[in-house]
Structures are given as C-alpha cells and as structure tokens.
Amino acid sequence: MENKLVNIEIDGESIEVEAETSILDAAKKLNKDIPTLCYLEEKNLIGACRICLVEIENSGKLAASCITPVSEGLKIKTNSSRVRRNRKMNLEFLLSNHNIECPSCISNESCELREIAEEFGVREVRFEGKKSSYQIDQSTPSIFRDPEKCILCRRCESVCRDIQSVEAVQVFGRGFETVIKPSFYENLADSPCVLCGQCTLVCPTGALREKEYIEEVWQALDDPEKHVVVQTAPAVRVSLSEAFSGKSGEICTEKMVTALKKLGFDKVFDTNFAADLTIVEEANEFVERINQGGKLPLFTSCSPGWINFIEEYYPEYLDNLSSCKSPQQMFGALAHSYYLDNTEVEEKDLIVVSIMPCTAKKFEAQREEMAGDVDYVLTTRELAQMIKEAGFKFENLEDSNFDQLMGESTGAGAIFGTTGGVMEAALRTAYEKITGKELEEIDINGVRGFDEIKKITVNIDGLEVKAAVAHGLSNARKVFEMIKKGEEFHFIEFMACPGGCLGGGGQPLAADKEVLKNRMEAIYEIDTNKKLRKSHENPYIIKLYKEYLENPGSEIAHKLLHTKYKVRKI
C-alpha cells in the first residue's frame, strides 16, 4: 500500500510529501535549515529544547518541527518574527542555566549550543538567577561528566537506551531540579555504564566527553629519560583528517605518522600489526575449539565496550569469549617484552601510548588482568588536539612510514576497524589453516555493510561454519536471544559501537551514516591496496613466531597474548 501524500506550504513554497512526515523533514526537502539541539535523526525525537519552533498559520500556534507531523493544507512559517523571537528566548533560557566557560571548554569548537547562539546573534542573556550546581564526575578512566554543561537534551539517554540497551543514564527530578545522571547512582563508575562513549558523540555541549590524558603524554614526551612509543589503531587513519579538513573518508596514514614523530614519539608503530597477530591467535583458537570440541560459538574479544557488556549482562557466556587480548593489549605486552629484547631501552624508561577510536580502551588499559601493558590511551580527538597545540598544519605534513619490527601489517589488520572486519580477517586465516589451500575469494562480502546483524555460512573443506556479526549492543542482545532459542553459530563477532571502531566513542564528532560509510570505504580501500591481505602472511608476524613466540597458542603466546575475563560490575 502506497503512503498517502499531502500538500503543504512552507514559507510560501508548495511541496507534496508523505503524510506523517515531520515538518522538520519536509523543510529539509526544500533546503530550509531549521535549527535543532535535542533532535537526533531516528534516535531522539522529543521536542525538548524548543529551538526548532515553527509557526502554524492555520492555527496560529507554535510547534516543535521535529515532532509535529504534516497534514493536508498545512501552512508553515519557519522564519517569522514570532518564530525568531521565541527561538531566541528559549535559547537564552538554556544559556541562563549553563556553565558558560567557552574559551576553556573542551567542546568549544564543536559545541552546538555555542554555534546556535552565534547564529542567533545572542549578545546577552536576559534571564539571571540561580544556576544548577553539580559535582564533576571523573570516577571512570574513560568518560568525563560535567552536569553543569548539560542542557537536558536527553540525546545521551536516548542513545544509551535505544542503541546500546544499557540505560546507564536517565532523567531524574522535575522543574529546576531536573538532572540527567547515572541510573540510581551518583557516579558512572557505580552504574552499569560500559564506557563505550556513544554518549560523548551526541552530547551537544561537552557535558559528556572523554577523560583526557593529553597532559600526561606531553610530560612523558618532554622527559628525556623516557622512551615513548605509540601505536595507532586502524580506524584512526581514516578519521583523523576530519578534525582538520572536515572531509570524511580521507586516508591519512603517512601524515599521521609524521605528526606523531614531530610530536616527539621515539617510535611510531601500527596497531594493525597486532591486529594481524590477534587474528593468527584467534583463528588458531577457533580451529582448536572446532577440532577438540571446545565451547562454541566463539565470541571475538577485541572490543572493550563489548567485554564490559558481557561481563555485566551475560556472564554465563564468558567461556565463549576468545581468550585473546585485544590488538591494543597484545601490542603493549610485546612492547614490554619482544621490543625491549630488541633494543637497549630499560623497562623502567618505557612508556607505551595508544591512539584509539574508543573511550573504553582507556578502561581496558587499566584492567587488573592486563595492567602495565599500555600506559596511556588517547582518542582520535585527543591526538587532533595535540597536533593543534603543537601548531602543525596537518594537511601540509610530508609522508612518513611506520617504524619497523612492529609496524608492518596486512589488509586483514586494517579491516579490524569496521564492523565485520574481524570476522572476515579471521575467516581468511581459519580457512587456510583448516584446508591447507589458498582462499580464492578473499573478499567475504556477506559480513560487510551496516546491517544490524549479518549472518553467513562458509564452507571450509566440508565444514559449514555458521558465523554472525553484530554491532551496537542492542543488537548483541538480539543475538543472545537467537542463541537462547537454539539458533546454531560457530563464530560471532561483537562490536560495542555502531559501525564498529569507525563509529567509536573517541572518534571525531558528527558521525552520521554518510560519514561512517565514507570511513568504511576508506578502510576497505586500504585492504584492497595492500600487497598482503591475510594476517598469517605478514612476514613480521612469521618472524615474531620464529624468533620469540614459537607458534600460535604456545605457552609464551598464552602468557603474553591471552587473558581471562570474569563477572564484574562496571
């Protein structure tokens, strides 16, 4: 049945749209820009901020355009004096209870409240009086929460509830006492928060952002006694340039390496190398479970937000988790062993820094099971800030290559950065390990794309391997329901963030569907252009096993590269 069409008029222009389309969406079809603050497409439709007000000529009423549907014959004004006056007044009400410290605010370049205030020409706030007062929450190593900057848009609540199904933050109180805070707890550390950071991506004012370690890293770099090495995750190289050019999907690997060297890092290594290592170990683990009747399905273990989630909500499935550390932690463990054995650097002088697209990686680095592998984790946003502080013109930097020993990687290591990438990389290696034959169709398209849950069956020498991929934690819950209902799987990739690491909580802001699509295309371009595209073919991985780790799953490999998770409250 076709959707009914209705005729409406916006600022004197006629347009035909589907019935029940919001006024906001109808206006977009006419290229009319209605300002919004609380609105998030398909995620947060509550009309709370009242910044998107329009005037309905038919009734003479003002209405929030994001939640008001069109109807036949509707006549709308988006820019009348009454609309402008009320929008500005509502904005001033928000500003009157806002901690206005724009020059020193972490979000001053990306703050939507500041941008709209500038667009509206707000030069003073007419409403003075008592302001809400709250303590800053720095209880976790990952997320910084400043309730005094909150404008009650409820985007964080919406994303945490509907996209991640965690419900770590909720609205409490009424009137002036209204506050968004951890559900029934004072601090995030006491709440069920999994530290994925999706809330930081949608917060319009910086009330929720990553906990920064920039100053600690600067101090390490400035200390002549310290030898500071850095690793960079696959997703960072396809998103970092957005902080400078504003364009998404640009591959900036070589310029990123140059920037890190100019910042003063002694060695710049590639987390993709450790991703290749993870695949070799994980594929070996999968084959062993298949051959020896081990616990199936095997769950991937490289996403720390996902690890926090299963420990908190599905601990009965912990035995299904791969024992492999994430690439970040594998690299850290090797830096403190293999790397030190190949240099004259002393253990006490070594500092390991990670550049990650993820806020949960900050927590992962401090887990007691792996403490000491990695010293500091910076997000993509933090690295961009450091480059700006140093005064580099990123786009003008020359190209440089990663340092050797732990800097070479395959295309399989690169696709770790996107949903489906870990599964595809693992299947490339598992196929050849099981069959002893070369995989002809190296692109496994069934696990690619942004479908919420992807399921494929791969024939590996007569064995029908049933695999699944889920990104976003609400989709993880759906997969668990499938398992409980008896659906059979052998191998499942879970990623906490929508889009995988490409959409991580530490990535540049405003990651809409188009941005994620461009980043994904760039990741696969890196893979396609690599001479080697299977992790087990990386010559430096082969060398590592020959000289140090002996073979996949060996005693020393387990000591350095594997761990075990346990039931915990985050």
Token pair for residue 92? 């001033």
CA-closest candidate to residue 170, choices 189, 192, 148, 149: 192
251-205-364 Cα angle (round to 5): 60
Q: What b-and-e string marks burial along 450-463, b requiring 16 or more CB atoms within 10 Å of the CB?
A: beeebbbebebeee
Distance spanning both ends of the chain, measured CA to CA: 48
Clarify whether 285 is annotated catalytic: yes
- Which residue among the candidates 210, 281, 285, 382 is catalytic per the annotation? 285
Cβ-Cβ contacts under 8 Å for 442 (sequence gap 6 or more): 428, 533, 534
Residues 181, 191: Cα–Cα separation, whole Å: 10
Which residue has tokens 């020896």?
292
Q: E strands of 262-340, at which residues?
A: 267-270, 298-299
Amino acid at 108: N
- Which residue among the candidates 16, 109, 369, 481 is catalytic per the annotation? 369
Token pair for residue 132? 């809400």
Clarify whether 369 is annotated catalytic: yes
CA-closest candidate to residue 378, choices 229, 266, 213, 268: 213
Amino acid at 48: A
- Which residue among the candidates 193, 302, 358, 497 is catalytic per the annotation? 302
Residue 414's CB: how many other CB atoms inside 10 A? 31
- Which residue among the candidates 32, 255, 325, 361 is catalytic per the annotation? 361
Residues 526, 533: Cα–Cα separation, whole Å: 10
Residue 112's CB: how many other CB atoms inside 10 A? 22
CA atoms within 13 A on the CB side of 6: 17
- Which residue among the candidates 156, 324, 497, 501 is catalytic per the annotation? 501
Contact 200, 209 (CB under 8 A): yes
- Which residue among the candidates 210, 250, 281, 364 is catalytic per the annotation? 364
Residues 107, 102: Cα–Cα separation, whole Å: 8
Clarify whether 110 is annotated catalytic: no
Cβ-Cβ contacts under 8 Å for 177 (sequence gap 6 or more): none
Residues found in the chain = 570
Give strand pairing partners of 298: 491
Which residue has tokens 């699509």?
517
Clarify whether 501 is annotated catalytic: yes
Clarify whether 361 is annotated catalytic: yes
Listing from the earlier edge strand, what are the strands of the sheet with 5-10?
13-18, 5-10, 75-77, 53-56, 61-64
- Which residue among the candidates 242, 250, 282, 408 is catalytic per the annotation? 282
Clarify whether 364 is annotated catalytic: yes
Give strand pairing partners of 63: 54
CA-closest candidate to residue 283, choices 242, 248, 324: 324
- Which residue among the candidates 22, 191, 303, 322 is catalytic per the annotation? 322
Q: What b-and-e string marks burial along 49-78, b requiring 16 or more CB atoms within 10 Å of the CB?
A: bbbbbbbbeeeeebbbbbbbebeeebebbb
Residues 348, 351: Cα–Cα separation, whole Å: 8
Clarify whether 368 is annotated catalytic: no
Which residue has tokens 């206005």?
100
Contact 10, 30 (CB under 8 A): yes
Token pair for residue 107? 């979000």
Q: Which residues are catalytic?
A: 282, 285, 302, 322, 361, 364, 369, 501
